[in-house]
Homo-oligomer: A and B are copies of this chain.
């Protein structure tokens, strides 16, 4: 389901809660392609939004900026105690949701910026397609295990989404995409986004894939 499809669904199937809070405001969904928890949430956020008549706006952020530079923390897997926990927790989530992933959390990480720039380029050049494109990037990185720091890997996603491969690959390296990514990261920090996934519903922030049920509850009740 693309973002525009979810939006159309929202228009025709407004839930009581969405009406109560007014105006079918979209859900803002922030993620870093590096993040396994972001991947998990990317598989469910559209469905959760659609259930309550909400479309989803997809936004990339960079954990390397938010967590390491702004918060001054170490990456999860370099944090004693938490590293072992994360490996178990991710495996447990996979088993519970039946997710096969060629990539392991402990595998070397890619540079997430080319994928994030590609996302920014699609968002600007083909608005409405960026959600589907983000899901395709997540799928290729986590389920199939490909390294998306390579432009050829990103370019391979163009065809199925009706995008021009050459234009996409050129877009990844464009100044416009670099500027858009920088602006997106700044905007995410301005809104207090520090993790992946991070969801903002009617101004209310929710951090972590383990909050998806709470988001569902929040939308069903129209907040509390």
Contacts and interface: CB of A to CB of B under 8 A. Distances in A.
Interface of A: 66, 70-74, 79-82, 84-85, 88-89, 92, 95-96, 189, 192-194, 204-205, 207-208, 210-211, 213-214, 217, 224
Given A95-B224, A204-B92, A192 B85 contact: yes
Nearest to A84: B192
Contacts of A84: 192
A205 B86 CA distance: 10
Contacts of A224: 92, 95-96
Contacts of A92: 204, 224
Contacts of A214: 210
Nearest to A193: B81
Contact of A85 (B70, B189, B194): B194
Contact of A81 (B80, B88, B189, B204): B189
